[in-house]
A and B are shown apart, each in its own frame.
Chain A
Amino acid sequence: MRESTIMQLQYGTAVLALGLVTVHLLMQGVLVPYGEAVSFQHVLSVYRNVVDGALLEVLLIVVLAHGFNGLRIILLEWRQSAGWTRGVNSMVLLVTLAAISYGTRTVILAATGQVT
């Protein structure tokens, strides 16, 4: 993938994350009182709502993609060699996919009622 394509994703996810985090925070402390928002049963109910659950899944993907690509950029600027560049690119991609998979698993388990 071209670096310009990756950077388009980086800028796109930054804008998306701003919007999604704003909505998320509104749901956590403004639209719903904070004490209620973080109660276990309320959190589960959020996951079970299709729209809210989907929003959390998108937020997970957007934030992880943006954050890990930022980490990749820092690591690339830290050291320079073909091996390091290849290694960082591969490792960051793997870790990002693993983190997204793990987070998605949580979303699915909560949304399908396998967590009570």
Chain B
Amino acid sequence: MGGEELVLRIQRFDPSLEKHPHLERYAVPLNDGMTVLDALLYAKDRLDHGIAMRFSCRMASCGSCGMKINGRPRLACETQLADLRSSTVTVQPMDNFPIVRDLVVDLESFFSKHRAVSPHLVRKGDPQEQESPTGEYLVTPQELDSLVQFTYCIKCGLCSSSCPTSSTDSLFPGPQALAQEYRYLQDPRDEAGDERLDLVDTEHGVWRCHFAGTCSAVCPKGVDPALGIQLLKRHIMAARSPFRRRKPKASSGARVFPNPNEDLLKRP
């Protein structure tokens, strides 16, 4: 690839000054192993300091550099230019979010929807036990298997930006929040129960997912939010069906196991 050049087309837009976004072209020299983020940083460092973009870890862990690359939502840091097989790469901000400037979008609605589903363990037991646990709250490998993939979410927003329902229904929680809801519903340590179901069993909630599956297709961490949403629907159906025989058991309840190191901890 040495000596070759890439045409990088970056969408530029400052809502305070312009009415419509436009694409600007930058010629970037190609190097082996170069990612889209590398190309963007070259353009920003050498060609135009004004390009606005978000990035941080450069290793697909922080989820900051989500953007639309050649029309598909991806992380810029893990997208190899060689894999795109194109001498022209178009970079645009993620869809379904308001643009702050250039490639930077406002993720406030995304994180507020995430917060709205109580993405944490809810415990209703003795507050004293919660402050000073008498043992460990263990999860079996089988229980972990049912939820572990959803814990890999890095909250990059790519799933929500690709979701057709999110593009039309601003109150739809989106695939990320719904998958997290399922993740905590499945956790045997969580005691929120029906309260969790009430959060998403609404007119703009989980039922508005039409299973396009784009969220799972674009997830850079291999999470399958579409699966989580369908499992969440199944759980709600089973829990709230008038024909149900028994209530489904989302969690097996808190099981406190004595801390095997308790003796060590008590030693002065």
Interface positions of A (Cβ within 8 A of B): 2-5, 7-8, 73, 76-78, 80, 85, 89
Contact = CB atoms under 8 A, between A and B. Distances in A.
Nearest to B205: A3
B201 A4 contact: yes
Prevailing SS type, chain A contact patch? helix
Interface residues of B, number: 20
Contact of A76 (B201, B204, B233): B204
B234 to A, nearest CB: 11
A8 to B, nearest CB: 7
Given A2-B240, A80-B169, 12 more contacts: A3-B203, A3-B205, A3-B207, A4-B197, A4-B236, A7-B233, A8-B237, A8-B241, A8-B242, A73-B207, A80-B171, A89-B203
A90 to B, nearest CB: 13
A73 B172 CA distance: 12
19 contacts: A2-B240, A3-B201, A3-B202, A3-B203, A3-B205, A3-B207, A4-B201, A4-B236, A4-B240, A5-B240, A8-B237, A8-B241, A76-B203, A76-B204, A78-B168, A80-B170, A80-B171, A85-B203, A89-B203
B165 interface: yes
Interface string B198-240: 0001111101100000000000000000000000010011001
Contacts of B171: 80
A109 B236 CA distance: 42
A89 B202 CA distance: 13
B204 A80 contact: yes
